[in-house]
Structure 1
Amino acid sequence: MPSPKEKVAPFAGKRPRGGSREIRLTEVATLARVSPITVSRALNNPQVVAPETLKRIQLAVQQLGYVPNRLAGSLSSSRSRLIAAIVPTVTHSLFAASIQAFSNAMSRAGYQVLLGLSGYSDVDECQVLDALLSRRPEAMLLIGVARSSALRARLLNVNIPTVETWDMTDTPVDMLVGFSHHDAGVAVAERFLARGKRRPAIISANDERAMARREGFIETMARHGIDNVAQVLVKPPSSVAQGHNSFATILAERPDVDAVFCGSDLLALGVLSEARARGLDVPSRLAVCGFGDLEFSADLVPALTTVQMDGSRIGMTAAHCLIDRLDGSPARPKIDIGFTLVGRETA
């Protein structure tokens, strides 16, 4: 923690959300009580600046949300027409559908989308954010919500229109388009219970959204007196092989398991394959539910029961929220797209 002497005074200027105001290097210099040239040296060659001075400048940069303009001198307009998007991966078709719909809508409005991949890491997400912000985007899209305090503070300080997606929270940074993963887990548990399943298991990735589904599933089972849910957590992105191996692990410990909620349809495909290899009938002996309703899910034999959400609609709605805000119109702060539990043959 910095000593009292190293603290800088609070910034007193107004930063209205949705406006085009840009934090200037001279403001950082004023707050840090140094000259603009010293700030420039600290940002470009920090080793030539005295440690105490460097720390004051870094504190000022953090407090103001200042980002060096990598495009300075190369743009004749103050508008970049760029929209930054941070996604954990593009290998997941649901995320890809959202990004495609989002990019198409922004392109029609005269904007281009600049994509950054975070890989399910809070640290990488902050680094990707800084790299994207240095290109001076006019707005920001996130797949997921900003859960880390560092990322949230950065987005609030930068103060450009921001839409978080694919999740729900009571405290969005700005705008939110998504659905409740917790409620999705509740819905799957209730379906299993309605079919008399009392020895459930869950195979889930360990990212924030998947863990929210896990929480809803386990809490619902507990309310019905079932507190021994077998669990296997895997590293995202999930795969068919993880489903195979995880279900084998569960059967070794709990051979009487009669229902499995899988955090993705790929995991569910692995479970179904392993169940078939062991002669376990689905759904009479074993119920299986996935998440995502991927293209193959309805065509499996038996067809996969799964949770469906409209990724394209999420992307399109998020784009319209940003376009409205950039055009100066008010936008709804929170839009719940919802989900559908698609009942098929496996549960």
Structure 2
Amino acid sequence: MGSPPRKPTMQDVSRLAGVSPMTVSRVLADPQRVTEPTRRRVLEAVAQLRYVPDMVAGSLSSRRTSFIAVILPTLTNANFADTAHGLTEALRPADYQPLIGYTMYRLDEEERLIRAMLARRPEAVVVAGTVHTKAASELLHQAGVPVVEIWERPDRPIDRAVGFSNHEAGRAAARRLIALGHRRIGALGPGIDGAARDFRGEDRLAGFAAALREAGLGDELVLRHGEPPVSFDHGARALAVLLERAGDVEAVFAVSDIAAVGALMECRRRGIRVPEDLSLIGFGDFEIGRQCVPSIDTIRVDAQRIGRRTGELLLALLGKGSPAGEPASLDVGFELVVRETTAAARRERGGEP
């Protein structure tokens, strides 16, 4: 086998286009500074040679990398994928590129990713959540670039935040079930003992439990079971555990629509009618929750809007958009969506409401 072909260089492009290497650099970095005929010649040479600029070398000279570090818990969750999509679309006009890492809900992995990303000199950092290790928090405080925490709305963000109150979302779910007359109310979420932690889901459970107590109801049926991320299987198993503990439970909140669908399937297997025998609310407005039968009541958050607003905020902070006049913590809100899995309480199984 022969040696691999030599990669074309900027000098090759300049010779083919009949211009200086500096002119090639200007066309690639700021094409509006070059006349249209020259720009066309250079771009034709780039295409003919299949030249790819060395962005690392360029960043060393310009001190700009043009990438945004984005750290998410997972990419298998449609909401986080939608957030990444909204962020990418907002950044695209300014030619910023997201570099995405995922933590699988582990704080130690988040800290490792933050170190690795900052070593590559991102223009900004976007990180899901507001709970970090002490070392990760210090790294973000000292990063020297904009830092935006998303999917939560803290009182004191590291720099900026775009999200909503997960605690209030949990409270809204509890208030809905209480208003329907339910009194034996439970909730399903992941446990808190393992290395992986879903702090946003935990906050929703905490808000849910708080609303139950404020209404004079017990929170002993708020179940924390298994490890994140939640799944269909997690929802089914968690509901089975809850039913063993309290077979008379009347209503359940799941911290994710994914878990809610699993709980719904477990009800089908056990002959429990939803919503006649058991009311069910999820979170996240996932497509499967909209399409399953019955369709699942949920708390909707506009995941793409979180990404878009984060991107718009970053462009403003980086001088590529309108001046940033937003508060340090931007609330995108949430919405309770009533579909087919909640109904007024029946004090006796099969009786009238």
Normalized against structure 1, the TM-score is what? 0.77
Deviates more, 1:151-160 or 1:227-236: 227-236
In 1: Cα distance, 2:219 partner to 2:230 partner: 24
Match of 1:278 in 2: 270
Deviations 1:206-254 (A, max 9, x none): 4110011001110110111212431132311111011111111111121
In 1: Cα distance, 2:316 partner to 2:64 partner: 16
Deviations 1:155-177 (A, max 9, x none): 11112111111001111011111
Partner amino acid, structure 2, of 1:334: S
Partner amino acid, structure 2, of 1:158: A
Deviations 1:253-287 (A, max 9, x none): 21101111001111111111111111111112100
In 2: Cα distance, 1:136 partner to 1:177 partner: 22
Partner amino acid, structure 2, of 1:305: D
Distance 1:272 1:121, change over 3 A: same
Counterpart among 185, 210, 213 of residue 204 in structure 2: 213
**Matching of residues 230-269 of structure 1 within 5 Å:** 230=221, 231-269=223-261
Bigger radius of gyration among the two = 2
Match of 2:324 in 1: 330
Tell me if structure 2 keeps the 8 A contact 1:185–1:216: yes
Match of 1:4 in 2: none
RMSD: 1.7
In 2: Cα distance, 1:228 partner to 1:129 partner: 37
Match of 2:305 in 1: 313
Tell me if structure 2 keeps the 8 A contact 1:177–1:336: yes
Partner amino acid, structure 1, of 2:303: G
Displacement of 1:93 after TM fit? 0.3
User: Is the partner of 1:76 in helix, strand or coil?
Assistant: helix
Counterpart among 118, 133, 139 of residue 103 in structure 2: 118
User: Is the partner of 2:287 in helix, strand or coil?
Assistant: coil
Normalized against structure 2, the TM-score is what? 0.76
Tell me if structure 1 keeps the 8 A contact 2:91–2:311: yes
User: Is the partner of 1:84 in helix, strand or coil?
Assistant: strand
**Matching of residues 1-347 of structure 1 within 5 Å:** 75-206=60-191, 207-230=198-221, 231-327=223-319, 329-332=323-326, 333-347=328-342
In 1: Cα distance, 2:211 partner to 2:245 partner: 22
Displacement of 1:96 after TM fit? 0.2
Partner amino acid, structure 1, of 2:287: E
In 2: Cα distance, 1:174 partner to 1:93 partner: 26
Deviates more, 1:313-322 or 1:137-146: 137-146
Partner amino acid, structure 2, of 1:142: V
Distance 1:314 1:106, change over 3 A: same
Match of 1:44 in 2: none
Displacement of 1:88 after TM fit? 0.9
Distance 1:315 1:172, change over 3 A: same
In 2: Cα distance, 1:161 partner to 1:146 partner: 18
The percent identity for this pair of structures is 38
In 2: Cα distance, 1:346 partner to 1:234 partner: 24
Tell me if structure 2 keeps the 8 A contact 1:232–1:250: no
Aligned positions, number: 278
Match of 2:348 in 1: none
